[in-house]
Amino acid sequence: MSPVLSHWSASWPALIAYAAVAGAHLAGLLRLLRRHARLPAGRSAVIREAAVFHGGLLVALLALVSPVGYWSAVYVWVRAIQDLALAIVAPGLIVLGAPWPALASCLGRPGATRESGGGDGPAWWLRWPVAAVVAFNVIWLAWHVPALFDRVPADPAAAAAEYALYLGAGMLFWLQVIGSRPWSPSGAPLRRAALLIGTVVADTVLGMVLVFGSGVLYPVYANAAHHVMTVVDDQQLAGAVLWMGMLPPAIVAAVAVLVRWLNEEESRALSAGIDRLLTQRDPAWPSRPRFR
């Protein structure tokens, strides 16, 4: 049987979590569409965001229940694909899908997403972008340390912790970089681009360690399946996957951040020019005095 059609897993915790989140979002979305004839973002935009959000949920689910979940315990390079899906791709799509108003509506708190943490600025999870990005990178790199990496295939609790941390830290990371309606990142565009570049550099270092390493870093993967590809070859391929796999979403996000920044700068310049035109200026030459 084809590897694509075999080794599907009925992971009940993953399936139940997926069904609960997807169902809550759809229920809240339908409630929003019924109650509000005109949504702030527009009905078509909200529907597009909902499709992107459910795409992110589906990516996370497939990373766990599809053959990717099975072969991730056999080959390191498949594990690298699973890590990228859970920490980068799925959280990015979820954040881009802006599910928060629909989820808040389902929970009976339609105004919850408008809260900004007490009125003193952005929500608390957006106030420390550097700390959030550093935390993501620490979590990302820590789970690739051999002691933790080798523990996940044999320990369901460790695997669940890894998956949850990847998804949570990944969403927090993307919130700092691209934002998610109705929240906007607190950092300036160039600062957010710098944080994104720093994350790519950290992942590049990890990929280079695996690609150019000549020893077995993950001995738990020294199984019978490596009769053609050695474990070292497997690690090197995994390093290439991590190294190159991070670049496409990072490049797309960086271009989006810079384009939005240029548009905002152009809009400010245009507004300033219109204000100067509309502002009444004093004459360059003083008017002649009038004599009575």
Q: Judge contact between 85 and 60, C-beta under 8 A.
A: yes
- Distance (Å) of CA 133 to CA 83, 93, 193, 249: 17, 17, 12, 16
Domain parsing of the chain, residue ranges:
12-113+122-277
Spatial separation of the C-alpha atoms in residues 151 and 238, rounded to whole Å: 17
Q: Output the pLDDT for position 276.
A: 59
Q: Output the pLDDT for position 116.
A: 46
Spatial separation of the C-alpha atoms in residues 197 and 200, rounded to whole Å: 5
Cβ neighbours around 282 below 10 Å, total: 6
What phi, psi does 159 have (nearest 5°)?
Answer: -65, -45
Q: Output the pLDDT for position 92.
A: 96
Q: Output the pLDDT for position 102.
A: 92
Q: Judge contact between 256 and 178, C-beta under 8 A.
A: yes
Q: Output the pLDDT for position 260.
A: 77
Q: Judge contact between 172 and 123, C-beta under 8 A.
A: no
Q: Output the pLDDT for position 279.
A: 63
Q: Is 184 helix (H, G, I), strand (E, B) or coil?
A: coil
Q: Output the pLDDT for position 184.
A: 85
Q: Output the pLDDT for position 117.
A: 46
Q: Output the pLDDT for position 4.
A: 63
Q: Output the pLDDT for position 80.
A: 97
- Distance (Å) of CA 254 to CA 103, 130, 240, 261: 28, 16, 21, 11
Q: Output the pLDDT for position 132.
A: 94
What phi, psi does 183 have (nearest 5°)?
Answer: -100, 140
Q: Which helix (H) or strand (E) holds 249?
A: helix 247-278
Give the pLDDT means over successive 10-residue stretches in the chain (292 positions).
70 93 94 74 83 97 94 95 97 95 84 53 78 96 96 93 97 93 85 93 96 91 84 95 94 87 61 56 56 50
87 CB burial (10 A radius; 0-12, 13-18, 19+): buried
Spatial separation of the C-alpha atoms in residues 225 and 3, rounded to whole Å: 14
Q: Output the pLDDT for position 258.
A: 84
Q: Judge contact between 196 and 219, C-beta under 8 A.
A: no
